[in-house]
């Protein structure tokens, strides 16, 4: 049982009121964290605000060294972190280890990128003037993160923020705070100064409101539901905060008639069933050209049948539990709706026990079905057929979301035509797992604002200052 306290100004602060952290696999309590509210949220901003001038004035090299020390400590304890993650989130241990490495790749990458925050000089309009453009850190930033990637969603935000010279207040998801607190502990151990990183757990509404009302918080970076993202956007208006939002997705996964079907089926498995389907870039709708639908389904369902459902700590498990009862209810409803509207369930289709759901394949999915429109966040793969490229592009784009999309084709011109026509921020062409630290991750439409990763990701934490010098 892990006891998690709040991290405020380099000190661990405990509250008598606690929140239980449950293992979704067994329902057992694996830890408790302090339940903070507005008071602690403001205290965290106080210390982050005080820490900002000193941290931001350090050289990029000094900050980089500390971020790399943090990275090295995480690397050394990757296995411990993964165990905490599996205990509170449920994902198979092999995926948890993969996430720790992925999370750490942001620290390594931004430790370097922080040294390349370049300005500009621009030719002036008069001989006795000079125009300089500088990039400066925005100030205190607030990061609000979800439960599906308890480590990576923290580092993807905090690595560029720290490298840019910002200080941070963080609120991890109430389901998975232990991973975040452990990472924060290692940040302190690495020598990242008190107040630069602060972690608050507790009431999301109260903490969120306190930060959104605070004019010292200059930027909010959020990953989570579209609903909460929209709320934060409204709340940000009063103090005109900068915002990055990574919200819901509804990824189309397109298999053309010239695709390598083995690679497409393998890709669909990787994209659909990672984290039991609980990622915002998971394939949600699989569109298969009518000429190849039968051989594709044969290959795909064979692989789905091989997926083992079970506790994340069991080495053989490929699919862990869903996060909570609401997640199960949603999946059950979507499968029932698809059945009622004429789809056939080829594999799975049922809850097993507790929070475990069978990996499920649905054939004959149509555009009216819930699963073809609403984010599933579970191990359900609906397959629909199409006849022409124009049709599949139109149907793929008919969504209020625009995060990730995938297309499998062996024809270069088709790859170019479709990837350019898709209204999505990320397109994987013959690639089901495109997320990496050096590339910009983010969505079109209601999937969000801004980008994380790459040089684009650090821009989100910088202000542009124009200095006009007369002499
Ligand atoms: P999900 O439905 O996947 O849990 P949420 O958007 O509810 O997604 O959660 C993502 C993050 O947003 C979590 O850290 C959660 O605590 C936080 N959150 C939820 N409601 C609010 C709110 N009203 N203000 C600020 N943060 C919130």
Mutate to test the pocket of ligand 1, among 224, 322, 374 (most ligand atoms within 8 A of CB): 224
* Strands annotated E in 51-163: 120-122, 129-137, 140-144
Fold of the 251-429 domain: Aldehyde Dehydrogenase; Chain A, domain 2 (3.40.309)
Residues with catalytic roles: 246, 280
- Residue 457's SS3 state is helix
Q: What is the mean pLDDT of residues 398-407?
A: 98
**CATH 3.40.605.10, the chain: domain bounds:** 6-247+447-470
| Model confidence band, residue 3 (pLDDT cutoffs 50, 70, 90) | confident
Question: 288-316 pLDDT, tens per residue?
Answer: 999 999 999 999 999 999 999 999 999 99
Question: 428-443 pLDDT, tens per residue?
Answer: 999 999 999 999 999 9
Q: What is the mean pLDDT of residues 185-211?
A: 98
Strand partners, 129: 470
Q: What is the mean pLDDT of residues 378-388?
A: 98
Return the pLDDT at 2.
Answer: 74
* CATH superfamily for domain 6-247+447-470: Aldehyde Dehydrogenase; Chain A, domain 1 (3.40.605.10)
> How many Å lie between the centroid of ligand 1 and the Cα of residue 82?
23
> How many Å lie between the centroid of ligand 1 and the Cα of residue 91?
20
Question: 117-144 pLDDT, tens per residue?
Answer: 999 999 999 999 999 999 999 999 999 9
Residue-wise DSSP of 70-102:
HHHHHHHTHHHHHHHHHHHH---HHHHHHHHHH
CB of 469 within 8 A of CB of 129? yes
* Residues recorded for the chain: 471
Q: What is the mean pLDDT of residues 407-412?
A: 98
| Model confidence band, residue 20 (pLDDT cutoffs 50, 70, 90) | very high
Which ipTM score applies to this complex?
0.99
Burial (CB count within 10 angstroms: exposed 0-12, middle 13-18, buried 19+), residue 20: exposed
Atom of ligand 1 minimally distant from the CA of 209: 24
- For atom 23 of ligand 1, the residue with the nearest CA is 205
Residues at CB less than 6 angstroms from ligand 1: 144-146, 171, 173-174, 204-205, 208, 224-225, 228, 231
Q: Is the pLDDT of residue 170 over 90?
A: yes
**CATH 3.40.309.10, the chain: domain bounds:** 251-429
C-alpha separations of 272 from 90, 145, 361, 373 in Å:
17, 22, 10, 15
What CA–CA distance (Å, rounded) separates 342 from 366? 9
Cα–Cα nearest to 49, from 136, 141, 135: 141
Return the pLDDT at 436.
Answer: 98
Question: 313-339 pLDDT, tens per residue?
Answer: 999 999 999 999 999 999 999 999 999
pTM metric for this prediction = 0.98
Mean pLDDT of the chain: 98
Question: 244-297 pLDDT, tens per residue?
Answer: 999 999 999 999 999 999 999 999 999 999 999 999 999 999 999 999 999 999
Largest Cα–Cα distance in the chain? 77
- For atom 20 of ligand 1, the residue with the nearest CA is 204
Q: Is the pLDDT of residue 354 over 90?
A: yes
Return the pLDDT at 318.
Answer: 98
Angle, in degrees to the nearest 10, between helices 177-189 and 78-89: 160
Atom of ligand 1 minimally distant from the CA of 174: 16
38: left (phi over 0), alpha (psi -120 to 50) or beta: alpha
């Amino acid at each position: 049982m892990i006891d998690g306290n709040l991290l405020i100004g380099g000190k661990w602060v405990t509250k008598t009121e606690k929140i239980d952290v449950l293992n979704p696999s067994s329902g057992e309590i694996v830890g408790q964290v302090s339940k903070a509210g507005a008071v602690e949220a403001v205290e965290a901003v106080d210390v982050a605000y005080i820490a900002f001038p000193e941290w931001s004035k350090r050289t990029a090299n000094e900050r980089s060294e500390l971020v790399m020390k943090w990275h090295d400590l995480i690397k050394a304890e990757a296995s411990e972190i993964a165990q905490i993650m599996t205990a509170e989130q449920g994902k198979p241990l092999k995926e948890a280890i993969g996430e720790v490495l992925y999370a750490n790749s942001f620290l390594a990458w931004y430790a370097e990128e922080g040294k390349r925050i370049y300005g500009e000089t621009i030719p002036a309009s008069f001989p006795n003037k000079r125009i300089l453009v500088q990039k400066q850190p925005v100030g205190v930033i607030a990061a609000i993160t979800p439960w599906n990637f308890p480590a990576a969603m923290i580092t993807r935000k905090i690595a560029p923020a720290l490298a840019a010279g910002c200080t941070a207040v963080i609120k991890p998801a109430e389901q998975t705070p232990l991973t975040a607190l452990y990472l924060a502990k290692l940040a302190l151990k690495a020598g990242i100064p008190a107040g630069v990183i602060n972690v608050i757990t507790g009431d999301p509404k109260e903490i969120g409101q306190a930060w959104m009302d605070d004019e010292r918080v200059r930027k909010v970076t959020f990953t989570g539901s579209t609903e909460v993202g929209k709320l934060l956007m409204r709340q940000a208006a009063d103090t005109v905060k900068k915002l990055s939002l990574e919200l819901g997705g509804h990824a189309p996964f397109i298999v053309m008639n010239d695709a390598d079907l083995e690679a497409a089926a393998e890709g669909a498995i990787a994209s659909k069933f990672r984290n039991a389907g609980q990622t915002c870039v998971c394939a949600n709708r699989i569109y298969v050209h009518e000429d190849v639908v039968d051989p594709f389904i044969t290959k795909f369902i064979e692989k789905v049948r091989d997926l083992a459902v079970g506790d994340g700590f069991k080495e053989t498990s490929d699919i862990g539990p869903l996060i909570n009862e609401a997640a199960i209810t949603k999946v059950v409803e979507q499968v029932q709706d698809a059945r009622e509207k004429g789809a056939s369930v080829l594999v799975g289709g049922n809850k097993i026990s507790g929070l475990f759901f069978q990996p499920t394949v649905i054939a004959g999915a149509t555009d009216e079905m819930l699963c073809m429109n609403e984010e599933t966040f579970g191990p359900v793969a609906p397959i629909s057929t199409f006849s022409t490229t124009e049709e599949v592009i139109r149907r793929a784009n008919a969504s209020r979301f625009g995060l990730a999309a995938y297309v499998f084709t062996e024809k270069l011109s088709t790859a170019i035509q479709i990837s350019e026509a898709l209204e999505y921020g990320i397109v994987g062409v013959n690639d089901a797992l495109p997320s990496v630290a050096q590339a910009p991750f983010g969505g079109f439409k209601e999937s969000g604002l801004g980008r994380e990763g790459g040089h684009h990701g650090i821009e989100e934490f910088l202000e542009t200052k124009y200095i006009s010098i007369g002499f």
